[in-house]
Amino acid sequence: MSAAAAAAAAARAPRGVRGCFRAWRLRHKFENLSPQRSPAHRSSLVQPAKIGWAYKNIMLQAFAGASAWLAERTGVEGALGYAVVVGLAIIGHFVMNHVDNQRYEAAAREAEAKKAEEEAEEPEPPRNFTQTQLLHFDGTRDERLGDDKPIYLSLNGTVFDCSKGRDFYGPGGPYAMFAGHECGVSLAKMDFDKTYIDDLAGVANLNFGEKNTLDEWIEKFTHFKPYPILGRLVIDDMLPSSDRVLSQEDLAKNDGTGAIPDGYATAPIYLGVVGKVFDVSFGGVGFYGAGGGYNRFAGKDASRALAKMSFDPADTADPDVSNLTEKERKVLGDWVKTFEDKKNYPIAGRLE
């Protein structure tokens, strides 16, 4: 805007606002002070400090004039101050709404990403549990790993992961005694007597009302919590004798593709190691089941292949371990120790 145009606009403006144009003209004159101008011309200008003081003074006068002009028009003393406060409040409202909306959208995106990540993770295949295996998952501290164990419990043979309910089923919780156990009869009777813990066979002896109560608990765990279902508890009485003798044909029939026995979550997967037959469907389905990295060993005597850490079909087909090196024998012994002590795979028999 030129100086002439600014002067014309100031003449048309209310008196209280004209000071703003005067301040603008003075600032414009100061900012256009150029070192190329002649010394005589520069010396004729007001010094910067004086200009700054004059500019502030003019702005205060302009504000006072604008306030008086607005008060005259509205009949409200200090109307300009009220208008400023209201304007700031409106601006603040819109700013806060904008910030809140951004936070909400960010939280929504984070929740959607987390949900998508959880859905993308493939769930573990159903597995079988022995009573010894289930007992391990009681929510106590795992000193070897330095972390709390998951909390699993069984209702009428169905094993649930109740880790999300640690306040109830974890150490110190009101239902801590159920962690790592079959507790169907106890919950059906609402009786915490230890004689009802691990009494899977006792479910068949419940009366009508108790069975309904047990069904309600299972419905609650399955659909209302919900707690993930991990598999089935196979009590010791349902397991085959570890002393029975199995042939290579018996071994081959139990490669995880056969019929699922009553009370099991998945078909047995037999694996022969130095004369012992382990059922690795009790926790090893992800490794030895269909699609697993060690599925080629399912239903076979894998002694030589495991000792040599070999996937060569010739080693899988030949179980002879008589010519293994000392190092390979040690590796084979470590496999057996892992199966028996760490994994607690049940022994389903012995090879003839």
Arithmetic mean of pLDDT, 111-128? 69
CATH class of 239-351: alpha beta
Question: With helix as H, strand as E and coil as C, how does the chain read?
Answer: CCHHHHHHHHHHCCHHHHHHHHHHHHHHHHHCCCCCCCHHHHHCCCCHHHHHHHHHHHHHHHHHHHHHHHHHHHCCCCHHHHHHHHHHHHHHHHHHHHHHHHHHHHHHHHHHHHHHHHHHCCCCCCEEECHHHHHHCECCEECCCCEECCEEEEECCEEEECHHHHHHHCCCCCCHHHCCCECHHHHHHCCCCHHHCCCCHHHHHCCHHHHHHHHHHHHHHHHHCCCCEEEEECCHHHCCCCCCEECHHHHHHCECCCCCCCCCCCCCEEEEECCEEEECCCCCHHHHCCCCCCHHHCCEECHHHHHHCCCCHHHHHCCCCCCCCHHHHHHHHHHHHHHHHHCCCCEEEEEC
- Nearest to 302, CA basis, from 249, 261, 251, 243: 251
pLDDT reading at 265 higher than 90 = yes
pLDDT reading at 349 higher than 80 = yes
Q: So what's the pLDDT on residue 21?
A: 47
Arithmetic mean of pLDDT, 296-315? 96
pLDDT reading at 96 higher than 90 = no
Angle, vertex CA 261, rays to CA 257 and CA 267, nearest 5:
25
Arithmetic mean of pLDDT, 302-309? 96
Sign of the C-alpha dihedral, residues 55, 61, 66, 67?
Answer: positive
More confident call, 306 vs 55: 306
Q: So what's the pLDDT on residue 24?
A: 47
pTM: 0.67
Arithmetic mean of pLDDT, 267-272? 98
Report d(CA 191, CA 197) in Å as an integer: 10
Q: So what's the pLDDT on residue 206?
A: 97
Arithmetic mean of pLDDT, 73-81? 63
Arithmetic mean of pLDDT, 263-287? 97
Could you read off the pLDDT of 186-229 as tens digits, one per residue? 999 999 999 999 999 999 999 999 999 999 999 999 999 899 99
CB within 8 Å of 182: residues ≥ 6 apart: 131, 134, 153, 154, 155, 156, 157, 197, 198, 199, 200, 233, 235
Contact (CB, 8 A) for 303 and 335: no
Q: What is the mean pLDDT of the chain?
A: 83
Q: So what's the pLDDT on residue 60?
A: 67
Arithmetic mean of pLDDT, 271-279? 97
Edge-first strand order for the sheet with 158-161 is 127-129, 229-233, 158-161, 152-155
Write down the CATH number for the domain with range 127-236: 3.10.120.10
Tell me the pLDDT band of 30, cut-offs 50, 70 and 90: very low
Could you read off the pLDDT of 127-159 as tens digits, one per residue? 999 999 999 999 999 988 889 999 999 999 999
Report d(CA 177, CA 153) in Å as an integer: 10
Equal fold, 127-236 vs 239-351 = yes
CB within 8 Å of 89: residues ≥ 6 apart: none
Arithmetic mean of pLDDT, 38-47? 50
- Residue identified by tokens 């992800």 is 286
Report d(CA 180, CA 246) in Å as an integer: 32
Domain boundaries, the chain: 3-77, 127-236, 239-351
